[in-house]
Structure formats: structure tokens, C-alpha cells
Amino acid sequence: MTEFKLKDLLEIKNGRDYKHLSEGDIPVYGSGGLMRYVDESLYQGESILLPRKGTLSNIQYVNESFWTVDTIYYSIIDKSKTEPYYLYRYLTLLDLEHLNSGTGVPSMTFGAYYDIPIKLPNLSTQKQIAKVLSDLDAKIEVNNNINQELEAMAKTLYDYWFVQFDFPDVNGNPYKSSGGAMVFNEALKREIPEGWGDGVFEDVANIIGGSTPSKADSANFTTEDGIPWITPKDLSNNKGKKYITRGEYDVTEQGIKKSSLKLMPSGTVLLSSRAPIGYLAIARETVTTNQGFKSFEPKSYFTSEFLYYQIKNKIPLIEARSGGSTFKEVSASTLKTIKIITPPEKVIKIYQTTAKPIFNKQNLLEKENQKLSELRDWLLPMLMNGQVTVGAMKSNYEGSGLGLVAEDNTKYGEK
């Protein structure tokens, strides 16, 4: 290993205001991430973006033309000394909070970054390690792109069937477009297919609230091997995913009993009902939640796949009708004012034959990405400090698609 200061490896540059630029296809980054797209770039090529103000832990890597605003620095990297992606991953392992120079908003100066000590292996080893890590990231990105396409398909399918009413008729033709009988529904104030009904969410799901066990008693919570306890913050961290397994904390049997928490089965649709309203996810296994939720357990012949988009489509209306003096909150009485359409059982069953496989594939890809992320994060510090070598990994994982795979039943990082 050779010791450097960060100033030996890159040159830091200030971001600039973008408001004078027009819309385009060049990404603009701030300390919080991607902001918008413009028609000019500030820099082209590989760069590590270092927060100047705000979230100091959000170090970003880019390898394209880009623009940065003044809350984040970009860098010009000396590729004769370091492999950019390797250095990026190295920096993500560091705790930079102690370097904060701001009295209010967290801030970092050129000098604070430049004085960070860095220990690097030779350039060839850096490139080998970067290849392993970037392959894992590339696989995750491929899965994310597939899931985005699947999400568009699932949403289009729902809208086609339950908004436009062009589900297949008895002859396999689009119902409404082919002249299927429609009747005006007074409650919904619109025409719906003959034989369909209206109702409220209580007609299609058991609506369940949550609670918080006393945090004064540490025996109410655990970080593993308890029952998942979900908060709106957990759904915020889960943004971009359709399913959730667990949050930051689990609750113990004691915590469940003392706070009368209700266990909700897999397939329950979780809706954050305050601070903020509108985060949505499907429980992958049995869960509990805090009081910031209204959760929908499908009943009768209704399904998670139907409820998910029925709720999602109503979120703007739910939020508009929510009350509260300090912050808005969705109450049980609010939900009773929201009128919904109730298709007959035979339509839901046919819908499921197409919708369920799409949801299952999304769930599978999300779980695979979780394992790949765990594997990457488990390997990262060991690769960086030399505990594991790329050569050893290749011999252990020879023949797999990436040179590495994430095992389904392995909890990386556990002894």
C-alpha cells in the first residue's frame, strides 16, 4: 500500500449555478443527487462528486457529461495514480462528518477534503477491484431498468382494465372500445361497466393502524430476528421499490404485546398516512408498523396487485381530504369518503393471471438486488484493506455470470 493525501489524487472544482441554462439531456447534480437536465456540461468524463453543503455522506460517481451546482464539488482525477471508480468506493467507506466545518448546515472545504489520508494498492490491483465492484453495480442497474419497464407495464395494465375499462370481453376484445354495456354510477359520477359496483376501501381491505412500543424499554426493540416494524422513514429509504421486507428496527414479542401491535401478513399494502402522506409498499412478509400508516390487508377476492394501484391512483385525493392542525394525517374517516370501483370476482381473477407474474418478477429482481448490494458492501472493506484478493474470489466463484453471485440464504457480514 502507498499512502497519499487526497490532494495528490485529484483536483477539486466548484460547481456553478445552472438557472441560465435551457432544458436538455445533460444531468445536473447537487449534494442530494440528480436535480434536472440542461443543455450544457460543466465537465465531461469520470469524476467523483464531493458534497460541499448538506448531506456529506452522499459522494457520487459519474462517467458522462454533467453539470454540478454550488452545493457540490466535482473533481478532475489523476488516472496515473488511481482508478476513479476504486477511489470513489474508497471514499464512500469514510466517515466525513467529523470534518464538517459548518455551524448550521453541514459544510466541507477544499482543505478538509485535500487533507484526507488515502492508502492505495498498485494501479493494477485498483483496476481489478473496481471491475468486480462495477460489475455488481452494473447488474443492479440492469435489474433496476428491467423493473422500471415492468412497473410501466403493470401500471398500464391496471389503467387499461380499471380506468379505461378495456379489459378483455368474452370474445377477448377490449370491453368498452368494442361496445361493452356501460351504466352511469351516481357514487362515482361516471360510467362503469354493467355489473360492476362501487364502495369504499373498507369493502376491499381490512384497514389496520400501527403503534410504537415504548422506546424507554430497550427490550421492546431489536435489530435482528424480531418482527419487522416499519416507519415512514423506512418507506422513504425504500423509495423506488415496490416491496419491503423490514425497516431499521424489529420489535420483540414483548414490544408487540405491550403496544397491542397488529401483525399484518405478506401482501398487505402499506400507505404512509402522515409525515409524509403517500409512500406505498407491499409487505414481503409478516410486518408491523408505527402509527404513521394505514395498511390495507386485501379481503374477499381482492388482491395486493389490484389494491396497490387502486390506492396509488387515489393518493392525491386522499391527501387533499386529509386534515390536521400541525401536519396532515389520513384518518379512517377520511378513507370512508373516498369512493372506489369494485369489479366482480371473475374480472379480478383474470386480471391476476397477467398482473401477478409481473409483480412476482419485480419482487424477485428487488430481492436479487438486495443480495447483490449486501455482497458488494460486505466485500468492499475487505477488498480495500487486502483481507480478500480478487484472485482468491475468482477461484472461489469461477463459472458464475459475474465472477461473483449473491447466495440466496447468505447474510453477508455475519460471522
Quote the CA–CA distance of 340 and 192 in Å, as a whole number.
11
pLDDT tens track for 26-80:
999 998 899 999 999 999 999 999 999 877 788 999 999 999 999 999 999 999 9
pLDDT value, residue 393? 62
Domain ranges of the chain: 2-120, 201-338
Q: What is the pLDDT of residue 397?
A: 52
Backbone CA torsion sign across 116, 121, 124, 125:
negative
CATH class of 201-338: alpha beta
User: What is the three-class DSSP state of 160?
Assistant: helix
For the stretch 35-44, pLDDT in tens is: 999 999 999 9
> Cell digits for 226?
424480531
Low-confidence ranges of the chain (pLDDT < 50): 398-415
- In whole angstroms, what is the distance from residue 338 CA to residue 201 CA? 7
Looking from the CA of 333 toward its CB, the CA atoms found within 13 Å total: 4
Distance CA 30, CA 36 (A): 10
Please tell me the predicted confidence (pLDDT) of residue 284. 97
CATH for the 2-120 domain, from 3.40.50.300, 1.10.3720.10, 1.10.8.50, 3.90.220.20: 3.90.220.20
CA 147, 150, 154, 155 dihedral sign is positive
Which position has the grid cell 419482487?
363
Q: DSSP labels for 43-112?
A: B-SEEEEEESBS-TT--EEEES-BEE-TTEEEEEE-TTT--HHHHHHHHHTS--GGG---SSS-B--HHH
Asked if 132 and 404 count as a contact pair (C-beta separation under 8 A), the reply is: yes
Same topology between domain 2-120 and domain 201-338:
yes
pLDDT at 219: 94
What is the per-residue pLDDT for 413?
41
Cell of 205: 381491505
pLDDT of residue 100: 67
